[in-house]
Structure 1
Amino acid sequence: MLEEYNVMQGAMTLYCDNLSAINISKNLVQHSRTKHIDIRHHFIRELIEEKVISLEHLSTNKELTDIFTKALDATRFESLRSSLGLCVIDK
């Protein structure tokens, strides 16, 4: 869609904290452990082969989405909230 507006973009980078998932996506050889992988993962592998997306490793400590998906202690929550640029507004 961006190309229709003359906006050229390289591969979109997806950040992942799972090194095994990244390695499986880059290795084209099927292993016994990967034969039951869901169709959507094969789709991601195809996108990587076509250089539409690239997967990069992100440390678990820097995974900002944890604030939306996990129960966190107060310290971790405050850290992620400040990383997102959110602040507390007192009434």
Structure 2
Amino acid sequence: MHSRTTHIDIRHHFLRDHVQKKDVWVEFIDTHNQLADIFTKLLAKEPFYKIRRELGILDKAYMS
């Protein structure tokens, strides 16, 4: 099991060290505000349009 968890340990310590140095900060983002979902999940129409607007992505039909 150790070989499978080693990369998790390395990432955890890497992030922890940078948080302690204040190079980065970790912030909770509510599931309804996860902009990355548009790239990783199949979304219903309304959440898709909401995220698309928030990212500033325009519908091709509006650009004509």
**TM-score (ref. length: structure 1):** 0.54
Aligned mate of 1:70, from 37, 41, 47: 41
Residues in 2 aligned to 1:73 and 1:61: alpha-carbon distance in whole angstroms: 12
The size of the alignment, in residue pairs, is: 56
Shift >3 Å, 4+ stretches:
none
Shift of residue 66, structure 1, vs aligned partner: 0.5
Q: Which runs of 5+ in 1 are unaligned?
A: 1-35
Match of 1:88 in 2: 59
Shift of residue 51, structure 1, vs aligned partner: 1.3
More helix by share: 2
Percentage of pairs with the same residue: 36
**TM-score (ref. length: structure 2):** 0.73
Q: Secondary structure at the match of 2:35?
A: coil
More strand by share: 1
Match of 2:24 in 1: 53
Shift of residue 45, structure 1, vs aligned partner: 0.5
Shift of residue 61, structure 1, vs aligned partner: 0.9
